[in-house]
Structure 1
Amino acid sequence: MNNLWNKIAATVSASAVLGMALALETVNPAQAIEFKFSWKGDAGYSALGTFNYDETTAPSKIEESGPGKTENLQSLSVSFFDPFNTLLGTYNTVTGGVSESPFFKFNFDTSTQSLFGNFDVAGGKFIDGENFLQGTIGSKLELKQTANQATTAITVDQNSGAITVSRVPEPASVLGLLAFGALGATLKRNKKLVSCQKAEA
């Protein structure tokens, strides 16, 4: 009898977690969709960044440039690392739908979920030692650093224009996956209990 109650309790628990995940998805439908991007230079320098936008209002192609209020992007931040994975700096190019860089260039195809065309993110405050990633997707991307009172830019690393983009899972979706995992574990445990009971009988 105890085994039966344990099975019922475990099944109810897993169902409750799943129900909560589905309820969260219904009450808070996804609007802000987030992506991460990564770049690796030929000499081992790298960049990791994130950006997001409202998927309910975004066009098929997001095209942003210059300072001030953005058309679609809500945020964009990028961090740079040397070949030993030491952080060189983090830059919030877009915060609260406002770009801080006069050099900012960003183009994203929402249907293919890929970056294209001109790309220029990070520094833009005319300060020595600022890092920024600049170039053309699929052609050449360069990690540069300002010098000489920000009048010149030194190329630190570069690659053939390759950059990867991937969608960041939504919290409710992750919770749903956990619920399915819990349900699977419960069913597996129940199967084991039934096998043990048959063996004892």
Structure 2
Amino acid sequence: MKNIFTKIAAIAATSTAFSVAVAAANNPAQAIELNFNWQGDAGYSAIGSFSYDETTASTIISESGGGATNFLQSLSVSFLDPSNNPLGTYNTVAGGVSQSDFFKFNFDTSTQTLFGPFDIGGGTGGKSFLQGTVGDSLFLRQYIGQDKPNITLDQNSGSINVSKVPEPASMLGLLAFAALGVGSSLKKKQASC
């Protein structure tokens, strides 16, 4: 009886992986999503993600200001204090439209690295934002009010990490192979009993 369930699980996993592979081949992914994270010297941090259409994007993506973006489809960021308590989450770019007049973003699609002027996050009424120059210095700042200076909460040497979000088809394929491995192990175990 266990042998039948093992075979059914293996067939189902293989079928799922094959279906996903066929669907991906017929509908190639256009949007690519990447994660980024920043760690300040005093323990504050920023985590976020952004996406763009890889079929239309140039090698260098440079965006600035409010309104329609050239290539970015989305960019969101969350800021955390040293105890990982949230300071705020901001959708700086949503649906290909920047929500901030101060927005600055530069990304090299070939090396998958951020570079140059950088300014993301909120903009008014006690909002937080990450700004500076990637590779030089980045500051996590908080806007307090119109006639008051911004408060610098943390900074670092300009280091910010970018990583690609795994595609769902890749994850399902890995799960299918894992299921086949488990099925094979169970089959060997049954044969030795």
Question: Normalising to structure 1: TM-score of the pair?
Answer: 0.89
Q: Secondary structure at the match of 1:15?
A: helix
Alignment of 1:20-169 (within 5 A): 20-124=19-123, 127-149=124-146, 152-169=149-166
How far apart, CA to CA, are the structure 1 residues paired with 2:21 and 2:97? 33
Q: Percent identity?
A: 59
Q: Unaligned 5+ residue runs, structure 1? A: 197-201
Residues 149/181 of structure 1: CA separation in 2 closer, same or farther (3 Å cut): same
**Could you list the per-position Cα deviations for residues 46-93 of structure 1 after superposition, in whole angstroms to 9, with x for gaps in the alignment?**
101110001111111111111111010000010111111110111111
Is the CA contact (8 Å cut-off) linking 1:42 and 1:159 kept in structure 2? Answer: yes
Q: Unaligned 5+ residue runs, structure 2? A: none
**Could you list the per-position Cα deviations for residues 80-137 of structure 1 after superposition, in whole angstroms to 9, with x for gaps in the alignment?**
111111101111110100011111110111111110111000123xx23111000011
Q: Secondary structure at the match of 1:129?
A: coil
Alignment partner, residue 199 of structure 1 = none
Residues 5/154 of structure 1: CA separation in 2 closer, same or farther (3 Å cut): closer
How far apart, CA to CA, are the structure 1 residues paired with 2:153 and 2:159? 16
Tell me how many residue pairs correspond in the alignment: 193
Instruction: Kindly provide the amino acid, as one letter, of the partner of residue 154 in structure 1.
Output: I
Alignment partner, residue 177 of structure 1 = 174
Say which one has the larger Rg. 1
How far apart, CA to CA, are the structure 2 residues paired with 1:15 and 1:172? 13
Question: How far did 1:27 drift?
Answer: 3.6
What is the alpha-carbon root mean square deviation over aligned residues?
A: 1.7
How far apart, CA to CA, are the structure 2 residues paired with 1:39 and 1:122? 13
Question: Normalising to structure 2: TM-score of the pair?
Answer: 0.92
Instruction: Kindly provide the amino acid, as one letter, of the partner of residue 32 in structure 1.
Output: A
How far apart, CA to CA, are the structure 2 residues paired with 1:159 and 1:153? 17
Instruction: Kindly provide the amino acid, as one letter, of the partner of residue 160 in structure 2.
Output: I
Is the CA contact (8 Å cut-off) linking 2:126 and 2:145 kept in structure 1? Answer: no
How far apart, CA to CA, are the structure 1 residues paired with 2:54 and 2:46? 25
Residues 82/11 of structure 1: CA separation in 2 closer, same or farther (3 Å cut): closer
